[in-house]
Amino acid sequence: MKFLQLSVLPFLIVILSLNGATLAHPYGDFLHCLSLRISNSSTISKVIYTQNNPSYSSVLNASIHNARFSTPTSPKPYAIITPRKTSHVQSTIYCSKNHGFQLRIRSGGHDVEGVSYVSQVPFVILDLVNFREVKVDTENEVAWVQSGATTGELYYGIASKTQTLGFPAGICHTIGIGGHLSGGGFGILGRKYGLAVDHVIDAKLVDANGRVLRRKSMGEDLFWAIRGGGGNTFGVVLAWKVKLVPVPPVVTVFTVNKNLEQNATKIFHRWQYIAHKLPKDLFTTVWVMKVNSSQVGKKTVQAGFRGMFLGGVDELLPLIQHEFPELGLAKENCTQMSWVQSILYFGGLPIQTVDILLNRHALPVSSLKAKTDFVREPMSETGIEGFMNMFLEEEADFAITMIEAFGGRMDEIRENELPYPHRAGILFESSYFVQWTNEADAGLCINWIRRLYSYMASYASKSPREAYYNYKDLDLGTNNIIGYTSYEQASVWGLKYFKNNFKRLVQIKTKVDPMNFFRNEQSIPPL
């Protein structure tokens, strides 16, 4: 039935109006091409979701993690393809290329600018939700993980086999491996082991010509580029082979909350001098947000000092008391648990139910805008005060800044080892988020985060002001949606994300995808 419906579509020409120009678009040809190549009608109905399909909206929305891009006016894909085999991925590339559709690749759908599921030009989504196998080999301390799996599914897969191995990736358990590893991946094991991509040892990629490549066949240049040089740029990464890392059976986590009335500014000021120099086994982070004050009806700003130590509380306490007595850490602030439970702790989830890591929809979805900074010099106390006070503004009701200490292993890896360049000398990375639930507040909230970012200009890294590609920020500049983007134009944002590695990424892109088939607003352009 489905096949019959699709087979009449070659005769359908969709007329699109874009920027005032009218284009004839062979939508039907695309679907015909894909259905012919997949051929089996029952498979087609499980793989191709056109806008007429009753499941289209639920498949589209299932992996949208920023409601800002799922409003009635958000552009929608002509079709969503959920491949079940590598050949389906190859066919989607072939048919999109031959029939003029832009391809947006989606793994976990956490792209903060929505570029994995929104485009201003006619597009289809290649959604890897069915590519989510996790195979853990504890004997060799490696795992093969498909891109559509979440970090939670990987963490769960490891923890269900061993308590003494882990993987250094992001805190949030619903982020997709495909996008996360395409841009870096920093989390609570980052000071000890570096980024997630520092532990990728092989990958399986489908390139713009539909070739299936592994590390050996793609060559070291392309293998270098896909480990942090951006998703939707070099091809579709189907799976990654990662090296696991040792973790102790017991780790200790802690939280100490201080608000403006409790010297939060001074303690944060001190933290900047200490956190990056602490032993690698200790990761600390500061979460800044507006909270209720102890005075009824008043608000204040809280700096939540949180940490994870790869060891027991009896070792942690004297260490903090010696290095950072100002924090006033006490035993009652600390909890011992397994490494995998510490992921839940940082995610604000109950630590008893590790199964929640398998739930891709465990976290609420709201509209948000994010920006990032890397800070190389400590901020002055007045600077911190001004920053904290901005959270008292009305637009910041649902804003948070997560400030993560660097140093440790991050200081030991050369800037050009992988595309991600923010390594030695970074004191901390700040990820600024603002969220809203009412569409009418969008403008004010986005304006607030832009003002916060302007305020931080004096304190952030300079020339370039570095930014983390995994939290894309289209305010930094974009490619042209259609046609050529010059190296100079793309450098405006490219140097911020990749510093001197940007040039090598452009050279590799020019070699492997000269026609720029894999593209988005901030993909690497060819020369």
Q: Which residues bind ligand FDA (CB under 6 A)?
A: 65, 104-112, 115-116, 128, 147, 170-172, 175-176, 178-180, 182-187, 231-232, 236-237, 470-471, 520
Question: For residues 236 and 357, which CB has a smaller minimum distance to ligand FDA in the complex?
Answer: 236
- Segment (H or E) for 433: strand 428-436
DSSP symbols for 195-230: -GGGGEEEEEEE-TT--EE-HHHHHHHHHHHHTTS-
Question: From the candidates 56, 471, 484, 487, which is the catalytic residue?
Answer: 471
Q: How far apart are CA 298 and CA 345, in angstroms?
A: 28
Closest CB 431 distance from ligand FDA, rounded Å = 8
Nearest distance from residue 24's CB to ligand FDA, in Å?
27
Q: What is the nearest approach in angstroms of ligand FDA to the Cβ of residue 77? A: 12
- CB burial class (10 A; 0-12, 13-18, 19+) of residue 325? exposed
What is the C-alpha separation between 89 and 306, in angstroms, rounded? 42
CB of 196 to ligand FDA, least distance (A): 7
Beta strands in 154-195 (DSSP E): 165-166
Tell the smallest beta-carbon distance from residue 451 to ligand FDA (Å): 22
Question: Considering beta carbons, is residue 183 or 419 the nearer one to ligand FDA?
Answer: 183
Rounded to whole angstroms, how far apart are CA atoms 202 and 223? 8
What string of DSSP letters covers 286-313? EEEEEEE-SSTT-EEEEEEEEEEESS-H
The answer to whether the CB of 299 falls within 8 A of the CB of 398 is no
> For ligand FDA, which is the closer residue by CB, 232 or 272?
232
Cβ distance 465 to 457 under 8 Å? yes
Q: Residue 26 or 152: which CB sits closer to ligand FDA?
A: 152
By beta-carbon proximity to ligand FDA, the closer residue of 28 and 185 is 185
Residue whose CB is less far from ligand FDA, 9 or 103: 103
Q: Which residue, 36 or 351, is less far from ligand FDA as judged by CB?
A: 351
d(CA 465, CA 453): 11
**Parallel/antiparallel/unpaired status of strands 251-259 and 334-337:** antiparallel
Q: Can you tell me whether residue 83 is helix, strand or coil? A: coil
- Alpha carbon 222 to chain centroid, angstroms: 21
Supply the angle between the helices 27-38 and 86-98 in degrees, to the nearest 10. Answer: 150
Q: Which residues contact 480 (CB under 8 A, 6 or more apart)?
A: 489
The CA distance from 441 to 517, in Å, is 36
Shortest CB 20 distance to ligand FDA, Å? 28
- What is the C-alpha to C-alpha distance for residues 400 and 299, in angstroms, rounded to an integer? 15
Contact criterion met (CB below 8 Å) for 478 and 494:
no
How far is CA 266 from its chain centroid?
31
CA geometry: angle 352, 433, 104, nearest 5 deg: 90
Smallest distance, ligand FDA to C-beta of residue 404, A: 8
Q: Give least dist CB 252 to ligand FDA, A.
A: 20
The distance of closest approach from Cβ of residue 390 to ligand FDA in the complex, given in angstroms and rounded to an integer, is 21
Residue 471: active-site member: yes
Report the residue number, 170 or 464, with the smaller CB distance to ligand FDA: 170
Is 185 or 526 the residue whose CB approaches ligand FDA more closely?
185
Residue for token pair 């039907």 = 28
Which sequence positions are flagged as catalytic?
A: 471
